[in-house]
Amino acid sequence: TAIWAVLPAAGAGSRFGGGIPKQYLEVAGLPLIAYALDALLAHPAVDGAMVAIAADDPHWPGWTSRSGKPVRTCVGGSERARSVLAALDALDDVTDDALVLVHDAARPCLDAVDLDRLIAAAAGNGDGALLAAPVRDTLKRASQGRSAGTMPREQLWRALTPQLARLGTLREALRDALDAGLVVTDEAMALEHAGLHPQLVEGREDNIKVTTPADLALVEFLLARRAG
Ligand code: C5P
pLDDT tens digits, residue range 31-77? 999 999 999 999 999 999 999 999 999 999 999 999 999 999 999 99
| Interface TM-score (ipTM) > 0.90 | yes
Task: Out of 53, 74, 80, 174, give the residue to mutate to test ligand 1, the one with the largest number of ligand atoms within 8 Å of its CB.
Answer: 80
pLDDT digits (tens, 9 = 90+) for 156-178: 999 999 999 999 999 999 999 99
pLDDT digits (tens, 9 = 90+) for 26-36: 999 999 999 99
**Pocket of ligand 1 contains residue 9 by CB under 6 Å:** yes
Q: Confidence class of residue 119 from pLDDT cuts 50, 70 and 90? A: very high
pLDDT for residue 138 is more than 90: yes
**What is the value of pTM for the model shown?**
0.96
Percent of the chain with pLDDT over 70: 98
For range 83-92, the mean pLDDT: 98
Between the CA of 77 and the centroid of ligand 1 the distance, in Å, is 9
CB of 8 closer than 8 Å to CB of 20: no
* The pLDDT of residue 12: 85
Domain with residue 154: its CATH number is 3.90.550.10
- Going by C-alpha positions, the residue among 208, 211, 213 that lies closest to residue 35 is 208
**Pocket of ligand 1 contains residue 209 by CB under 6 Å:** yes
From CA 90, how far away is CA 104, in angstroms rounded?
17
E strand or H helix at 167: helix 167-179
Residue whose CA lies nearest to ligand 1 atom number 7 = 104
Segments forming the whole domain that contains residue 9: 3-227
- Going by C-alpha positions, the residue among 4, 8, 47 that lies closest to residue 187 is 8
Number of domains in the chain: 1
- Closest atom of ligand 1 to CA, residue 209: 3
Check whether the bond before 162 is cis (ω within 30° of 0): yes
